[in-house]
Structure 1
Amino acid sequence: MKILIFLAFCVHLSAADTHSYRYFYTAVTSGINFPEFTLVGLLDGVEFEYYDSNIRKYIPKTEWMKKNEEPGYWNGQTQIAQGAEESFKVTVATAMQRFNHTTGVHTVQLMYGCERDDDGTTRGYLQYGYDGEDFVGLDLKTKTWIAPTPQALITKNKWEKTGAEANYWNGYLEKECIEWLNRHLSYGRETLEREDPPTASVFQKHSSSPEVVCHATGFFPKTVMITWQKDGEDVHDDVDLRETLPNQDGSFQKRSILTVSAEDLQKHTYTCVIQHSSLEKEMVLHVRERRNGGGGGSGGAPIGIIVGVVAALVALAGVVGFLIWKKKRSGETSTGFQTVPQNSSPPSDDDSSSNNSNTKECPPA
């Protein structure tokens, strides 16, 4: 659950005119039914490449990546990811020592990436987490490391002695990351810029439950607005808007839960309003019409929605990784956390290099 919480906290919605390029790494202590190391890449919220310590291979997750990247790319990325896996084992042990943890399940996560608006504005970000909480992050404006806990001060002080790590990340996130974003976006533009309208329903979890759920699924792109109205006026209180989750087919789903008494439902007209770029006009669903039948009013969520939610949680659990650099920089092992960003070699069509310039290099943990 902490893995999912960390991801939900880190991954925010991208606007329709913004393209995002993110990587997640997650290392977990052994002994649970989950890969000890997971790496995933997301382009505009869509998982497009993946590695974990069970399969031990870096693989494409979309047809457009499989079609456009050569075998050398995947072989090179597999070697890098395997090196990252070993690096993160050390990182987990170091983090546990910092927090005086000797047993139990613990996680170390790394999230970084960049975004580009259609007007050319770009942004970058980087954040480490331990057990679902912020550990250390980079402030790109000041090129300093933020340590929200005392346990992270060793890492912060180590990295700020010369400023090399912050400068390196700054250069990567401002330039190379954007180059890779543009490269992979060109492969998947037709898919990533499509517009699929949502399918929506309103239902109660149980016939006697005060919670009414408005659920939208199957939409793309990711950004969607779900709001509630009472007699035509917006309702903001007693509303629980959930995170947007991925479906297995690459589309998304989202739900909003309104807590309202049976008396109010009888006296007033409640509606769920859904807005999405694929819709010519907003979608309006009336609660009262659904309350006594139809979309699961007396029996909870329809089975299709339940299956979709489970599938989305499985997909989200896979979104817990990131590529790491296989080159260990001298003097950094004392902190247990090392940084050199992914894609440190910019995209190139020149295959003469022995290191394969089309292979991305990634940061040690």
Structure 2
Amino acid sequence: MGGVPLLLALLGALWAQSARAGSHSFRGFYSSLSEEVPGVPRFSIVGFVDDVPIEGYSSDTRRLEPRAPWMRKIEDPQYWERNTENARGTEPVMRADVKTVMGRVNHTRGLHTVQQMYGCELRGDGTIGGFLQYAYDGGDFLSFDKDQMRFIATATPAQVSADRWNSEKSIAQRWKASLEEECIEWLRKYLHHGKESLLRRVPPGTMVSRRKSGDRTLLTCYAYGFYPREIEVKWIRSGVEMPLEWSQLLPNPDGTYQIKATVEVQEGDEKNMYECQVEHSSLPEIVTVVYKEKSPGPSIGLIAGVVLAVVLAVGLAAFGVWYTFFRNKRPVKHGYTPPREGPA
């Protein structure tokens, strides 16, 4: 499906945004397909706080449902019913938008999708941010510059919508107020309800290993089981930071994270000391793990555990892709819902 690469990119952007120290964000994602695909909802929703899915809607179930246990703490009994109705009302509008955009780009048939991502950020320094983006078939289509109060066509067929929306100043004003006020208000509420999960600090476990890859010798530093996501892992050789050959951060099934950072070393370079330094908000100071030439590699059990975590993490990432993109017609008092103008 053409939209999948963009969804993965958007999820990556979401994770990158949430990795700013002390910052928190709300992200709403929603998507509509031009035709039915077996096993894939034609219209789907997901809402995130930081990188945690908190609520979702599917055209298969036709209900907005909690994705995080603490979301059941929302004290308003109307929250789920009202927002379910908003999602149901959005569904046919989004389907019409897909058809309209298809006409703009001269697509008469086939599988196509319109997607939207919007949200807000409460940064560690007290400042706020907000954004709105549309995509068609996985490519940028239209975006909103909140500071300039303008809609920007990132694809030629979107210029019609950008011109029309920019001629009606009230549309930009509604979006700016929605992102800076209502979205931030609900982000604070979500953080309050989910503070035991979202604001927790779990320190990482650490270990290092050595392996051969062809004629190369690689050292890998593992940090695992930590939360929140933001972390810094460095390799130091005799006091000098080394460039990383490869680094990957992945989610674990229990909501924590793991990362491994790999460097190449010269075979037989025993005179230099290699150190892995791990910095995380849960740690009172930087943790240093020294690699010793004769130290044993990781146990089979630990390797199996890391592999299992990676496999399950991939499953979680796929889950996040299918439950995408949330959109509503107008703001209501029962949870954050943005203005409803579509890209068509």
User: What TM-score do the two structures reach when normalised by structure 1?
Assistant: 0.78
Shift of 1:57: 1.9
Q: Superposition pairs for residues 148-297 of structure 1, below 5 Å?
A: 148-203=154-209, 208=214, 212-236=219-243, 238-242=244-248, 244-258=249-263, 260=264, 263=267, 268-286=272-290, 293-294=297-298
The residue that corresponds to 1:335 in the other structure is none
The residue that corresponds to 1:122 in the other structure is 128
Shift of 1:136: 1.2
Q: Aligned to 1:315, what secondary structure does the other structure show?
A: helix
Question: Is contact 1:214–1:256 with CA below 8 Å preserved after alignment?
Answer: yes
Moved more, 163-172 or 21-30: 21-30
Shift in alpha-carbon separation, 1:233–1:251, aligned structure 2, 3 A: same
Instruction: Say which of 72, 75, 79 aligns to 2:78.
Output: 72
- Is structure 2 residue 97 aligned with structure 1 residue 91? yes
| Offset from partner CA, 1:110-135 (integer Å, 9 cap, x none) | 11111223553211111122333322
Moved more, 150-159 or 89-98: 89-98
The residue that corresponds to 1:5 in the other structure is 9
Question: Is contact 1:140–1:170 with CA below 8 Å preserved after alignment?
Answer: yes
Pairs aligned (count): 332
The residue that corresponds to 2:309 in the other structure is 308
State the alpha-carbon separation in 2 of the partners of residues 254 and 71 from structure 1. Answer: 40
Moved more, 67-76 or 40-49: 67-76
Question: Is contact 2:219–2:265 with CA below 8 Å preserved after alignment?
Answer: no
- Is structure 2 residue 38 aligned with structure 1 residue 37? no
Q: Which amino acid aligns with 2:21?
A: A
Shift of 1:289: 5.2
Taking only the aligned residue pairs, the percentage that are identical comes to: 35
Question: Is contact 1:114–1:178 with CA below 8 Å preserved after alignment?
Answer: yes
The residue that corresponds to 1:16 in the other structure is 21
Q: Which runs of 5+ in 2 are unaligned?
A: none
Shift in alpha-carbon separation, 1:360–1:199, aligned structure 2, 3 A: same
| Offset from partner CA, 1:205-243 (integer Å, 9 cap, x none) | 87547665444332112211122222331123x54444x
Instruction: Say which of 323, 331, 353 aligns to 2:326.
Output: 323
Shift in alpha-carbon separation, 1:227–1:98, aligned structure 2, 3 A: farther
Instruction: Say which of 3, 12, 32 aligns to 1:27.
Output: 32
| Offset from partner CA, 1:248-283 (integer Å, 9 cap, x none) | 32223334343x266387675444322101112223
- Is structure 2 residue 334 aligned with structure 1 residue 358? yes
Shift in alpha-carbon separation, 1:361–1:23, aligned structure 2, 3 A: closer
Q: Superposition pairs for residues 142-153 of structure 1, below 5 Å?
A: 142-153=148-159
Q: Aligned to 1:324, what secondary structure does the other structure show?
A: coil
State the alpha-carbon separation in 2 of the partners of residues 132 and 211 from structure 1. Answer: 37
Moved more, 129-138 or 180-189: 129-138
Q: Aligned to 1:318, what secondary structure does the other structure show?
A: helix
Shift in alpha-carbon separation, 1:293–1:254, aligned structure 2, 3 A: closer
Shift in alpha-carbon separation, 1:138–1:204, aligned structure 2, 3 A: farther
Q: RMSD value over aligned CA atoms?
A: 3.1
Shift of 1:81: 1.8
State the alpha-carbon separation in 2 of the partners of residues 233 and 28 from structure 1. Answer: 51
| Offset from partner CA, 1:263-317 (integer Å, 9 cap, x none) | 3876754443221011122233445659863256xx9x92222222232233233
State the alpha-carbon separation in 2 of the partners of residues 284 and 107 from structure 1. Answer: 48
Question: Is contact 1:139–1:146 with CA below 8 Å preserved after alignment?
Answer: yes
State the alpha-carbon separation in 1 of the partners of residues 235 and 176 from structure 2. Answer: 42
State the alpha-carbon separation in 2 of the partners of residues 94 and 212 from structure 1. Answer: 53
Shift of 1:148: 2.2
Shift of 1:185: 1.7
State the alpha-carbon separation in 1 of the partners of residues 166 and 150 from structure 2. Answer: 7
State the alpha-carbon separation in 2 of the partners of residues 127 and 273 from structure 1. Answer: 37
Shift in alpha-carbon separation, 1:361–1:116, aligned structure 2, 3 A: closer
Shift in alpha-carbon separation, 1:180–1:203, aligned structure 2, 3 A: same
Shift of 1:91: 2.9
Q: Aligned to 1:172, what secondary structure does the other structure show?
A: helix
User: What TM-score do the two structures reach when normalised by structure 2?
Assistant: 0.82
Q: Aligned to 2:17, what secondary structure does the other structure show?
A: coil
